[in-house]
Structure 1
Amino acid sequence: MKLQLLLIITHTVFAQHDKDKKERILENIDIDHRPHERKIIIDGIDRPYQLAYHAKENRQEIVYFSYNCGLFNESTFEVGYAVNGTPVPVPIKGVKNGFATAINVKDNVIYYGGSDGIYRQNLSDPISEVVHLEHKYNVWDLFYKDHLYFITFPKKRLYKYKTLNYSEIQTHIREKIYQFAIDGEGDTFITNKTGLFMIKNGTNHRIHIKGATVFRAIAVNKKGEVHLCGRNEIYVVHKTKRVLREIAKIKNIFGLTFDIDNNIIYSDPHQIVRLVPAPGLGQNEKNKKSKIKNKGSL
C-alpha cells in the first residue's frame, strides 16, 4: 500500500513539474507591446549573470555566462557556456572565480574576468588555450568597445586594459560604479549609487538619466542602443528625453544580452531565455484596438 501511495505521489509531482515546464515555455512576454515567446536556452543553473552571445559562421550559437557552482549555502562562481540547448553548462577551465565576460566581435575574442584578473580566449579555435592577461585585479565586470574596460572588486573603479599586465585607471570617472557601457554613438553610460548617467562622446559632463536607480545588468543591442535591467524590468535609454523607457516586465532578471537577430536573451535565478517575436497582439495593443473599436461604435 505504501509503495502504491509513493508511486502515485511521485507520478503526481513529475506530472506537475512537466506541466509547469510546458507552461513556462509557452508563456508570452510583451516587449514594447509586442508578444514574444520564451525559448529556454538552458535550465537548472544557479544565478546566471554576465551574459555574452557568440554566433559562429555555421550559425552555431553560444551563450557565455557566470553562475554559482558552490554546494549548499556556498557561493563559488565560474564562467561557462551553453551551446544550442546544452542541458548543463560547460565550464571554462583555468579562470579562478570567473564572474565576468565580454566579446570582441571583430577579432573573434572573448575575455573572462575573475578574482585573479583577466583572461583571453580565441573563439575561432574551439580548443584554444585560455591566456592570463592581467593578474593584479579582482574583476567585477567587463565591457568591450574598441578597447577592453573593466570594473574592479571591491573598489568598483573603472580601468582600461592597455597591454600585458598593465591597465590604466579612468580618471574622468572617479567614483565607485556598478555598470559601464558605450553605445553606438560613442556615448558612455555608467551606473552608481545614485542612478544612471550619460557622458557624451568627447566630453566629461554627466547627464542624469531619469527613472530607475538600481540595476542588475547593462547591455548594448545590435543597433547600438543601451538597455538595462532592474530586478523586474527591462529599460531602454531615451537619449533625447534623458529618461529610461520601460519595454518589458519580467520577474527576477539577472543578466541581459542580444543574439545575432537582436532578440533579447535574459537570465533569471535558474534559466537563460531567448525572447522571439510571436504571432498575435500584445495585451496593450489589444486594449488600444478595443478602445478604437468602442469609440467607432458610439
Structure 2
Amino acid sequence: MKLLFFLALVVTIKGAAVSNEECDGISINGTYYERELLKTNLDRPYSLAIDWGTNILYFSYSLQPTDDVFKSLKINLNTKEYSEIDVENGFVHTVDQKKHVVYIGTAKGIYKYDYATNKAEPFDVLESDIWEIFYKNGVLYYSDFPEQFLYNLTYDEKSRVEDLDYMKIIHFVIDDNEVMFYTNATGLYSQPKGSKDAYLYQQLENGDKVRGLTLNIKGYVYACFEDGIYKINTATGVLEQILEIDDAFGVAFDASNNIVYSDATSVYYLKANKDKNCGG
C-alpha cells in the first residue's frame, strides 16, 4: 500500500505530568490524581480494557517469563475484588460497552465473556493465535499471529480490512470520527476508514516502543509507549505525553475518565480529586 504522509517532522510534547511524593499522587494538566495500587507482583500486565457500565478492569499477565503463556484477570475498580477468568491463555481484551460483553483473544481463537454468568465461551471457530482485538459498532476487529493481518468479524463472517491491504498491524483502534489509529513496524498512524491516506504521528523501529492504543470516554485516542502515556492530539497532529512511566505496559480509562495504567510488575488506578491541590 502506498501511504501518503502529511507529516514531514514528527513533534512530541513531554512534561505534562508532575509527581508529588508528599501527596502520593500525580498532577496532570492541572488536575490532581490520587494513585492507588490495584495489583502487584505480576509479570508484564498487558491489554487493559474497562467495561464502563460495570467498572470492571480486564487485562492479562505473563505466567512464565520465558514462554508465551498468559492469564486473563479482572478487577472490580469499585470494590477492588479480583479474580482470574477461566479461559486458557487469555491475551488481549476488548469490550462491547453497550452489552457489557468482553471479547478475549487467546492462543485458540476468540472467547466471549459474560460478566453476568461469569463464563467465557468460544465465539468463533477460527482457532487462531489472536494478536490484537478491538470492538466497535457491532464489528469485531482482530489480527492473528504470526501473520498479523487485520480482519473484521460480523455475524460469523470474516473479511480482510481492505483499507490496510496486506499490512501487518500491531495495535489498532477506531475513534468516534471513524478514523483508524494503528501501529506497525514503521510507525504510529491514523487513517480515515474508506481511505488509504495515512498520517504519520511517530516513526518507529520494529514497532516495539508502543504497547497499546485505547480510547477514553470522550473518544480521544491515547497511546502507551514504553516511557509513558501519550495523548494523540488530532487537532495539532502531535503526541503529548501526559504521564511519564518507567517501562509502561498498558493504559485504559474508566467512565469518569480516570486512568488505569500498568508498568512491568503492577497495575495502578489514578482517580481525579479536583478538591485537592498539590501543585504541578
Q: Which residue of the partner structure matches residue 67 of structure 1?
A: 61
**2: CA distance between counterparts of 1:24 and 1:74?**
37
CA distance in 2, matches of 1:77, 1:26: 35
- Which aligned pairs between 1:87-98 and structure 2 lie closer than 5 A? 89-93=82-86, 95-98=87-90
1:178–1:129 CA distance, 2 compared to 1 (3 A): closer
Q: 1:248 to 1:271 in 2, by over 3 A?
A: same
> How far apart are 1:215 and its partner, in Å?
0.7
Question: Is the CA contact (8 Å cut-off) linking 1:185 and 1:201 kept in structure 2?
Answer: no
Per the alignment, residue 118 of structure 2 pairs with 127
Cα shift at 1:55? 4.6
What corresponds to 2:185 in structure 1? 193
Return closer, same or farther for 1:162/1:90 CA change in 2, 3 Å cut-off. Answer: same
Structure 2 partner of 1:9? none
The answer for unaligned runs of 5 or more in structure 1 is 1-22, 284-298
Which structure 2 residues correspond to residues 1-298 of structure 1 after superposition, within 5 A? 27-56=24-53, 61-70=55-64, 73-83=66-76, 84-86=79-81, 89-93=82-86, 95-123=87-115, 125-146=116-137, 147-164=139-156, 166-173=157-164, 174-210=166-202, 214-278=209-273, 279-283=276-280
For residues 92-142 of structure 1, the C-alpha deviation after alignment (integer angstroms, 9 at most, x for no partner) is: 22x33210111001122110101111111223x233452342324210111
**C-alpha displacement at 1:168, in angstroms?**
1.2
Question: Relative contact order, CA 8 A, sep 6+: which one is greater?
Answer: 2
| Aligned residue type for 2:158 | S
Contact 1:115 1:137 in 2 (8 A): yes
Q: What RMSD over aligned residues (CA atoms) do the two structures have, in Å?
A: 2.3
Given that residues 159 and 169 in structure 1 are in contact (C-alpha distance below 8 angstroms), is that contact kept between their aligned partners in structure 2?
yes
2: CA distance, partners of 1:25 / 1:202: 50
Look up the equivalent residue of 1:52 and give its one-letter code.
A
Letter in 2 for 1:90: S
Partner of 2:17: none
Q: Are the counterparts in 1 of residues 163 and 194 from structure 2 also a CA contact under 8 Å?
A: no
Contact 1:25 1:40 in 2 (8 A): no
Deviation at 1:222, TM superposition (A): 0.4
How many correspondences in the alignment? 252
Contact 1:46 1:69 in 2 (8 A): yes
CA distance in 1, matches of 2:22, 2:132: 30
Aligned-residue offset at 1:252: 1.5
The structure-2 alpha-carbon separation of the partners of 1:181 and 1:127, relative to structure 1 and needing over 3 Å to count, comes to closer
C-alpha displacement of 1:253: 1.0
- Distance (whole Å) between structure 2 residues aligned to residue 114 and residue 25 of structure 1: 42
Residue 282 of structure 1 deviates from its aligned partner by 3.8
Deviations 1:76-98 (A, max 9, x none): 10212123323xx52222x3321
> SS where residue 121 of structure 1 aligns?
strand
Q: Secondary structure at the match of 1:130?
A: strand
Greater share of residues in helix? 1
Q: Which has the larger radius of gyration?
A: 1
| Secondary structure in 1 matching 2:173 | strand
TM-score (norm 1): 0.77
Which structure shows the bigger proportion of residues in strand conformation? 2
TM-score of the aligned structures, taking structure 2 as reference length: 0.82
**Displacement of 1:68 after TM fit?**
1.4
Distance between the aligned counterparts of 1:66 and 1:156, measured in 2? 19
Report if aligned partners of 1:76, 1:97 keep a CA contact under 8 Å in 2. yes
Distance 2:22 2:123 in 1: 39
Deviations 1:121-173 (A, max 9, x none): 223x2334523423242101111111110121112111101233x42121221
1:34 touches 1:282 (CA, 8 Å); kept in 2?
no
Provide the secondary structure at the position in 2 that maps to 1:172.
helix
Do the aligned partners of 2:52 and 2:97 also contact (CA within 8 Å) in 1?
A: no
Residues 129/243 of structure 1: CA separation in 2 closer, same or farther (3 Å cut): closer
Does the Cα contact within 8 Å between 1:211 and 1:244 map onto a contact in 2? no
